[in-house]
């Protein structure tokens, strides 16, 4: 072994020796009850800290505070606190037993009725000591006797209690052991009494009872330490009785002392506020013992001390702070009783083991299956995300910084939760391009969630481009697109929720249209055409809606128009006027020229809007197969009515009055312009918007002055006109109100079509 090896061994031995010494010192400290160098007992009474006698050789006080400074009479080996003898100090309970003098009041026959009384007996005046209300009784002994127990605070009497006895010379009822009020009375002691004294008195009737009673006694005594005897009426032999006092340290509560850092409770102990409300006391935790005021409490070995609940010491296992009971090897059961242990039955263990194995296999298999399904589900979501153009959308969003703030990509889980798993009760609309659900997002925002039809892989680029562009459309009369979800087989679009349903409902529902006057109709038409004009002329890339109809015009809580459902919309490049597409739309609203040529233009939306204007004017559906041949097609019907000077006959009941005749005629003229068969003869959506806005601002007085002009314009715009007929509003109005009846609409043949090019 080298020099380094020898040094290592020496250092290790030194450390071991030091550790042994420390452990030994700790063991010694754990058995100490008093400070080092202080007297530990006086006679048979131990003196644990915080109590103590005097000082050590180096001048350190052996007690915590002045109230705990005791005196030991070496000749009598009696321990006193002031003039009161201490016979026991209990650290764990925070109590001390002291011998307290009896207070008495005696009659002197030489003075006649003037009795001579001893001074009241003082107990102990320190606020750190409180007489225990649970462990003591206050007793008065004598006939015609009363006694007081007084509590003082700051030299002022706090409160008193006591009892009295009256005999009236009757001694037959006085019995040994009976302290119920005749010759002897006792009362419970109120809590929190400190700085107390006792006092005895009499009612001066000794002349009737001198033969057996000339003194009255009052005293406090520990429970079980006094038994009344009739002979005590003549003379009470005891001068003192043991009394239990509760004591506490400091003058603060536990919390206050802990906050100030003055709390003296050591480790493995708890601090408890004194019941008297003055100071606190320390107590070792359950399973620990020692003096918590002096050092850390140590573990009690319940198995060695016999403080266990086991069948025997051999069935006991000590733990830090507690113990456990067990059965010897080869046995099982309850080690708390001798009969509780028995030989092990291996069958239950085998059954339990087999069951546990089966459960483990089942759980493992289930976890593997669930993990596989989860991975499969994640891959499926990734597949749908790519299939629906998610990567392209992210690429577009990253290249358009402004878009990232206007559109949100939702997860399938979010929208499934928002719609309660797409509950059918939450469906608010069905159309040719999907189903619309009402949903509530986690932030309590109410939205409309559109579940689209299957998107063709060839249309992915167009779909994503549409989402990007629509996310940037910012017009008050266009339903705002909030975001989309691409993790499902079909893409989901999230729109703002529009509360009051569709324009179609307000036109054709009798309960709603009663409150839907001409002014509202004209305003909604103007708002709608303004939104369409914006899409055609002001969007970054012109958008043709391709499915303009009253069911795609929503009304919010203020009945403001919102154009919706861009599932069929197309983008028309700036350098193109037409776009060859498969015909899509709704019968009755479809542009006839578009149906024949498959060439989509902005004028196709103008024709569809003209049908909406015709709906607003007549209250009739675009196609009415159960009506006469003339009324089957609303566009043709409105045009023929204008041509034949029968406009007012065609109007929906309730919208016409003397003030709005001119406005209605001019709106009908605008509708007829929009419904021209040739697209090039129709006005642009921007021109229609300007005309309707002008009509709204038009003065009512212009009607009479412009009657001839209106007639000429009507003759100009209609493809067929009659020179022999004149359009006179007064006569036609009268006829319409007399001859026209409007029944509820029987059937709406709304058909979505998709025709190949050239058909």
Residues 6+ apart with CB under 8 A from 310: 303, 316, 323, 325, 326, 335, 336
- pLDDT tens for residues 45-55? 999 999 999 99
- CA gap 651, 667 in Å, rounded: 12
Place of tokens 């009494």: 193
Around Cβ 448, how many Cβ atoms within 10 Å?
A: 20
Around Cβ 423, how many Cβ atoms within 10 Å?
A: 11
The contacts found for 631-639 with CB under 8 angstroms, 24 or more apart, are 633/588, 634/588, 635/588, 635/607, 635/610, 635/611, 635/675, 638/614, 638/668, 638/671, 638/672, 638/675, 639/672, 639/675, 639/718, 639/719
pLDDT at residue number 432: 60
Segments of 599-642 assigned E as strands: 599-600
Total-model pTM: 0.46
- CA gap 389, 395 in Å, rounded: 10
CB 707 within 8 A of CB 662: no
Around Cβ 421, how many Cβ atoms within 10 Å?
A: 8
Which CATH homologous superfamily contains domain 389-496? Phosphorylase Kinase; domain 1 (3.30.200.20)
Coil, strand or helix at 496: strand
CB 308 within 8 A of CB 299: no
- CA gap 246, 51 in Å, rounded: 14
Angle between helices 707-717 and 661-674 (to 10 degrees): 20
pLDDT at residue number 460: 63
Please state, in angstroms and as integers, the Cα–Cα distance from residue 181 to each residue in 162, 164, 185, following that order. 12, 7, 4
Query: What's 682's DSSP letter?
Result: S
- Closest residue by Cα to residue 479 from 563, 353, 365: 563
What are the tokens at 517? 């006057």
Residues 6+ apart with CB under 8 A from 454: 489, 490
Query: What's 660's DSSP letter?
Result: T
Angle between helices 661-674 and 634-643 (to 10 degrees): 120
- pLDDT tens for residues 422-456? 999 999 887 666 788 999 999 999 999 888 766 56
Residues 6+ apart with CB under 8 A from 139: 147, 163, 179, 184, 185, 186, 218, 219, 220, 221, 226, 228
Query: What's 480's DSSP letter?
Result: P
439: left (phi over 0), alpha (psi -120 to 50) or beta: beta
**Gyration radius (Cα) of the chain, Å:** 53
pLDDT at residue number 296: 92
Fold of 503-703+713-725: Transferase(Phosphotransferase); domain 1 (1.10.510)
Place of tokens 């019995």: 175
Angle between helices 729-739 and 661-674 (to 10 degrees): 90
Q: Pick the catalytic residue from 97, 135, 299, 547.
A: 547
Give me the helices (H) in 121-160, please: none
Segments of 154-258 assigned E as strands: 156-165, 184-187, 193-194, 196-202, 215-222, 240-247
- Run means of pLDDT, 10 residues per run, the chain, 759 residues: 47 42 41 87 93 91 93 88 91 93 79 44 77 94 90 71 86 88 92 87 62 82 95 89 94 93 94 91 93 93 89 88 86 78 75 89 89 77 68 62 62 90 88 80 90 65 66 84 80 86 88 77 94 87 87 90 82 72 84 89 92 93 76 88 90 87 92 93 94 78 44 46 33 34 28 33
Full DSSP string of 48-71: -TT-B-SB-TTS-BSSSSGGGB-E
Coil, strand or helix at 270: strand
∠ CA 480-486-487, nearest 5°, is 140
pLDDT at residue number 103: 92
Residues 6+ apart with CB under 8 A from 740: 649, 650, 653
CB 451 within 8 A of CB 490: yes
What are the tokens at 542? 């012109």
Query: What's 457's DSSP letter?
Result: G
Burial class, 75, CB count within 10 angstroms (exposed 0-12 / middle 13-18 / buried 19+): exposed
Q: Establish whether 137 is an annotated binding residue.
A: no
Torsion of CA 78, 81, 87, 92, to 10 degrees: -140
Residue 535: φ, ψ to 5°: -65, -40
Residue 550: φ, ψ to 5°: -65, -25
pLDDT at residue number 80: 92
pLDDT at residue number 21: 40
- Closest residue by Cα to residue 721 from 625, 626, 645, 657: 645
Please state whether beta strands 408-409 and 481-485 pair in parallel, antiparallel, or not at all (unpaired): parallel
CB 437 within 8 A of CB 428: yes
CB 611 within 8 A of CB 672: no
Classify the C-alpha dihedral 710-711-716-717 as positive or negative.
positive
- CA gap 477, 196 in Å, rounded: 89
Domain boundaries, the chain: 95-247, 389-496, 503-703+713-725
How does 166-204 read in b/e, with b if 16+ C-beta sit within 10 Å? ebeeebeebeeeebeebbbbbeebeebbbbbbbbbbbee
Residues 6+ apart with CB under 8 A from 308: 302, 316, 323, 325
pLDDT at residue number 753: 34
Examine the residue annotation and report whether 29 is marked as an active-site residue of this protein.
no
Q: Compute CA 539 distance to the chain's CA centroid, rounded to the nearest angstrom.
A: 45
Peptide bond preceding 63 in cis form (omega within 30 of 0):
no
- CA gap 203, 398 in Å, rounded: 105
- CA gap 290, 268 in Å, rounded: 10
CB 244 within 8 A of CB 222: yes
pLDDT at residue number 136: 96
CB 600 within 8 A of CB 568: no
């Amino acid at each position: 072994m080298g020099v380094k090896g020898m040094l290592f061994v020496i250092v290790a031995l030194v450390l071991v020796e030091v550790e042994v010494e420390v452990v030994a010192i700790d063991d010694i400290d754990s058995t100490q009850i008093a400070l080092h160098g202080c007297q530990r007992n006086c006679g048979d009474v131990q003196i644990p800290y915080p109590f103590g006698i005097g000082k050590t050789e180096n001048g350190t006080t052996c007690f915590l505070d002045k109230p705990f400074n005791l005196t030991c009479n070496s000749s009598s080996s009696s321990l006193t606190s002031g003039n009161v003898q201490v016979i026991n100090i209990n650290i764990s309970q925070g109590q001390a037993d002291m011998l307290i003098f009896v207070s008495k009041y005696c009659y002197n026959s030489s003075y006649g009725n003037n009795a001579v009384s001893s001074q009241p007996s003082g107990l102990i005046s320190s606020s750190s000591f409180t007489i225990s209300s649970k462990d003591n009784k206050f007793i008065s002994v004598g006939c015609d006797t009363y006694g007081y127990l007084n509590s003082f605070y700051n030299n002022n009497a706090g409160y008193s209690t006591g009892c009295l006895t009256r005999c009236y010379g009757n001694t037959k009822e006085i019995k040994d052991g009976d302290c119920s009020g005749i010759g002897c009375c006792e009362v419970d002691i109120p809590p929190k009494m400190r700085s107390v004294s006792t006092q005895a008195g009499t009612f001066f009737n000794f002349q009737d009872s001198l033969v057996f009673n000339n003194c009255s006694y009052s005293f406090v005594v520990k429970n079980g330490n006094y038994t009344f005897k009739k002979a005590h009426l003549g003379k009470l032999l005891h001068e003192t009785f043991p009394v239990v006092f509760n004591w506490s340290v400091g003058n603060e509560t536990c919390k206050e002392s802990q906050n100030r850092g003055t709390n003296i409770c050591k480790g493995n102990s708890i601090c408890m506020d004194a019941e008297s409300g003055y100071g606190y006391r320390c107590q070792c935790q359950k399973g620990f013992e020692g003096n918590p005021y002096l050092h850390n409490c140590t573990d009690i070995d319940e198995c060695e001390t016999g403080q266990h609940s086991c069948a025997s010491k051999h069935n006991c296992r000590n733990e830090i702070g507690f113990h456990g009971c067990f059965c010897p090897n080869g046995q099982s059961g309850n080690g708390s009783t001798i009969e509780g242990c028995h030989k092990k039955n291996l069958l239950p263990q085998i059954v339990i083991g087999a069951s546990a194995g089966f459960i483990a296999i089942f759980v493992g298999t289930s976890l593997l299956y669930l993990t596989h399904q989860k991975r499969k589900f994640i891959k499926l979501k990734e597949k749908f995300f790519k299939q629906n153009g998610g990567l392209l959308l992210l690429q577009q969003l990253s290249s358009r910084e402004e878009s990232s703030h206007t559109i949100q990509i939702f997860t399938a889980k979010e929208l499934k939760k928002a719609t309660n798993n797409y509950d059918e009760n939450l469906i608010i609309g069905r159309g040719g391009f999907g189903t619309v659900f009402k949903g509530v997002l986690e932030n309590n925002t109410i939205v409309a969630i559109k579940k689209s039809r299957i998107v063709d892989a060839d249309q992915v680029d167009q779909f994503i481009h549409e989402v990007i562009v629509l996310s940037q459309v910012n017009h008050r009369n266009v339903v705002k697109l909030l975001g989309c979800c691409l993790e499902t087989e079909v893409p989901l679009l999230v729109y703002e929720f529009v509360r009051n349903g569709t324009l179609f409902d307000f036109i054709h529902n009798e309960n709603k249209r009663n409150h839907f006057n001409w002014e509202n109709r004209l305003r909604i038409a103007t708002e709608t055409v303004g939104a369409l004009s914006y899409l055609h002329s002001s969007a970054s890339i012109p958008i043709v809606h391709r499915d303009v109809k009253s069911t795609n015009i929503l009304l919010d809580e203020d009945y403001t128009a919102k154009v919706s459902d861009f599932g069929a919309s197309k983008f028309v490049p700036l350098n193109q006027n037409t776009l060859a597409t498969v015909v899509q739309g709704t019968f009755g609203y479809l542009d006839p020229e578009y149906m024949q040529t498959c060439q989509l233009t902005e004028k196709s939306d103008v024709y569809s809007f003209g049908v909406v204007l015709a709906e607003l004017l007549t209250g009739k559906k675009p196609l009415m197969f159960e009506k006469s041949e003339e009324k089957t097609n609303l566009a043709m019907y409105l045009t023929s009515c204008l041509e034949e000077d029968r406009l007012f006959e065609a109007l929906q009941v309730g919208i016409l009055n003397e003030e709005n005749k001119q406005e209605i005629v001019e709106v009908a003229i605008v509708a007829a312009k929009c419904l021209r068969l040739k697209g090039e003869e129709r006005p642009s959506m921007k021109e229609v918007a300007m005309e309707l806005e002008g009509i709204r601002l038009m003065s009512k007085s212009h009607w009479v002055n412009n009657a001839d002009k209106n007639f000429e314009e009507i003759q100009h715009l209609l493809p067929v006109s009659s020179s022999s007929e004149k359009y006179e509003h007064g006569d036609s109005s009268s006829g319409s109100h007399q001859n026209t009846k409007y029944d509820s609409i029987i059937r709406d043949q709304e058909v979505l079509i998709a025709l190949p090019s050239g058909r």
